[in-house]
Amino acid sequence: MKKTLLLLAAAFGSAMVFASEGASEAPSLTHKMMELAIQIGIILFAARMGNLLFSKLRLPSVLGELCAGVVIGPFALGKAFDWWIFQQVAGSSVGVSTELYGLCTVASIVLLFLVGAETDLRMFMRYSAVGSMVGIGGVIVSFVTGAWVGTVFLGMPWDSPACIFLGVMSTATSVSITARILSERKKLDSQEGVTTLAGAVIDDVLGIIMLAIGMGMIAATQSGGSVAWGDIGIIAARSLGIWLGATVVGILVSKWVARALKPCGTHGEVAILTLGLALIVGGLFEQASLAMIIGAYVTGLSFSRTEISLMIQEKLHGVYQFFVPIFFAVMGMMVDVTQLVRPEVLLLGGVYTGVAILAKIVGCGLPTLLFGFNLVGAARVGLGMVPRGEVALIIAGIASSSGLLPEEVATEVFGVAVMMTLITTLVSPPLLIGAFALPWNGMRAKFRKRESSDDTPTVTYHFPNHDVTNMVMSKIRQNLAKEGFFIHQIDPAKGLYQARRTDFILSIACGDCDISVSAREEALAFVRLVMAESIVDFEGILEALRKPISGNTHVGIADARANSSKVSVLSRFIRERNIIHRLNATDRNSAIHELLLRLREGGYVRDITKAEDEVIRREALMPTGVGFGVACPHARTETVDSLICAIGIAETPIDFSDDDDGKACRIIILTLTPDTANSPYMTFITAVLTILRSEERRNAVLNAPNAVAIRSAFIGD
């Protein structure tokens, strides 16, 4: 470690010497690029050290990157040492070089593009009522109070650029910290947790729209006087229309765009192409007098419902790790610490921060009272919306670099924004933890739903080593994505993930040698099936992977509860023409062949030989007799375009397993699903097993006189 530090010190010292040598004369392009390379290297090291330090202190790591930027910036070490490579750039409105600010701008586009790609539109729609009220309330109250603080302390009218930016900055919400706390306390699927997450999605959208409206208002005032209410309405309608229009068009065409990009190279190359689209769309939005980050967010949002969404998040993770620390560090470098400690700035920042905290608690909390929450629940939702983060800093950077504010005011506004971001991010976690620690339910009695958040079952699987664990976790994420889940990495350091779909939420913790999944009781069958399928993919390579699922191969039929959504899944995929009332087959392979022939007759399977080979190969890895006289042979294959199943009833029991439970199977359910597209295979199998848990329902299937009656027995007609 000492040798490493000495080498770094020597390298930085040499860099300073070369930098000072070139400073006496006009720098050449080569010299500027050399200086930029050294600056980026120092920023990356400093940001990483700040990240690690704050993580050890159990503080948000992004704050460490921000503070590292403050320390190494031109207003701290730059003022203390003339030879330091980061010096204030003369004539720059942001204090750093154009090259560094350009990297920072690209980083903000990467950040907002990935934020949009992780947005759960399905959740947005499901909780749109209460989430919209929470988001709208928070945005309106935050904007009004933020702009009001500017009018009082800066002595400017409310429609001045400074007050507009103060208002817009106050509307931003960073929900990643809140999501991590909710996950750790197993409150993600509580009514407060789901409402907070849904409200945060809407809040982000409305905050970005407010930025667009604010930029339009500023442009109008710059071109000629004050803005009338009618003008504000026109600006709002124009900004909202462009945003909604671009979003609708993006969502409609994104699937075709994704399909067109897939043949263009590897997954990584396709992900880079989508980022290229985000940069182009961002530039077009800037041309339309909207911020580039709005275009980036719209692009990410458009791809969020495509099959390449998870691939984008995975393959751009390295790009994210490079650019985003640069973004936060450069934001910190733009903070003039000498201005920040001025009494008037401290007073403005303190009042602005306090008002910003109260605005979210009141604006987001009070609307929940209309939806059955009590004051405790309202406070939890409001506190969950308090943290500001990257969006607030991006808006502050736009304000500082736009040239719309006098230099002294721009510096003051930016310093206030950084102070507000730091304080709200620091105070929110302990306040939110304290609110959930209160022994009271957050809902009024008649609105309470049955919850067992504190006793949420957790299934844990242990693996031989770290590499195997990571391989299985990667496969779990892929399988969940194919089932229609949104997977969000809440805390990379702790390996915390949240997988959301409309019917339930999974909290996943991936350690060095274990994976734990927490979910409601009715989701455990699905969890075990996902784990079993993910592990089976590696069975032929790593025999050691059989150990974690010993005793769990029967996917937990008894743990599931039937509900209407399962009936809907069954009615969608079980077709009468694909049911064989009585199979002629008397052994496993012939039963599989007979069911595949029925699917080929219906035109569902393109290559029956290949499909049969894949089913038999899957069967060899792990027999699919699941007990209760039921077998579920299956395979993911390119020979079908969508999930399809065939059901057969055997006259005599057929052996589909290595143990006693699976050696007497009469109900055979063959399922094929495409490997490259999203397909709810595990959801379908879980629904089938849930139905067949009932002995009465199994007898109804076995004794049914024809295919129509068999289908009715499955779906309960």
pLDDT at residue 124 tops 70: no
**Same-domain status, 575 and 663:** yes
The confidence score (pLDDT) of residue 668 equals 92
Give the CA dihedral 427, 429, 431, 433, nearest 10 degrees. Answer: -170
**Same-domain status, 568 and 537:** no
CB under 8 Å to 347, separation ≥6 — which residues?
A: 153
**Same-domain status, 413 and 276:** yes
Boundary (domain end) residue, out of 532, 552, 572: 552
What is the CATH classification number for the domain harbouring 522? 3.30.160.110
**Same-domain status, 259 and 365:** yes
Strand ranges inside 492-574, DSSP E? 496-500, 505-510, 514-518
The confidence score (pLDDT) of residue 564 equals 43
Buried residues in 383-414 as b, exposed as e (16+ CB within 10 A): bbbbbbbbbbbbbbbbbbbbebbeeebbbbbb
Confidence tier at 648 by pLDDT (50, 70, 90): very high
Contact by Cβ (8 Å): 496, 180: yes
How many independent structural domains does the chain possess?
Answer: 4
**Same-domain status, 266 and 298:** yes
**Same-domain status, 295 and 429:** yes
For residue 249, tell me if it sits in a domain. Answer: yes
The confidence score (pLDDT) of residue 549 equals 46
Buried residues in 616-644 as b, exposed as e (16+ CB within 10 A): eebbeebbbbbbbbbbbbbbbbebbeebb
**Same-domain status, 248 and 299:** yes
What is the CATH classification number for the domain harbouring 670? 3.40.930.10
For residue 103, tell me if it sits in a domain. Answer: no
For residue 317, tell me if it sits in a domain. Answer: yes
For residue 283, tell me if it sits in a domain. Answer: yes
**Same-domain status, 251 and 143:** yes
Output 615 or 694, whichever has higher pLDDT: 615
**Same-domain status, 463 and 543:** yes
The confidence score (pLDDT) of residue 195 equals 81
For residue range 201-242, list pLDDT tens digits in order: 677 667 777 777 777 777 666 665 555 566 667 767 777 788
Arithmetic mean of pLDDT, 267-293: 86
**Same-domain status, 429 and 533:** no
Residue 519 CA to residue 254 CA, distance in Å, equals 32
The encoded tokens of residue 580 equal 């064989």
Residue 62 CA to residue 68 CA, distance in Å, equals 10
For residue 292, tell me if it sits in a domain. Answer: yes
The confidence score (pLDDT) of residue 189 equals 62
For residue 59, tell me if it sits in a domain. Answer: no
Q: Which long-range contacts (CB under 8 A, 24 or more apart) does 232-239 make?
A: 239/209, 239/212, 239/213, 239/215, 239/290
505: containing domain: 455-552
Confidence tier at 592 by pLDDT (50, 70, 90): very high
**Same-domain status, 240 and 363:** yes
Arithmetic mean of pLDDT, 625-649: 87
**Same-domain status, 228 and 315:** yes
Residue type, 364: C
CB under 8 Å to 195, separation ≥6 — which residues?
A: 127, 130, 131, 134, 368, 371, 373, 381
For residue 55, tell me if it sits in a domain. Answer: no
pLDDT at residue 351 tops 60: yes
| Per-range mean pLDDT, top range of 116-125, 388-397, 609-618, 655-664 | 609-618
For residue 93, tell me if it sits in a domain. Answer: no
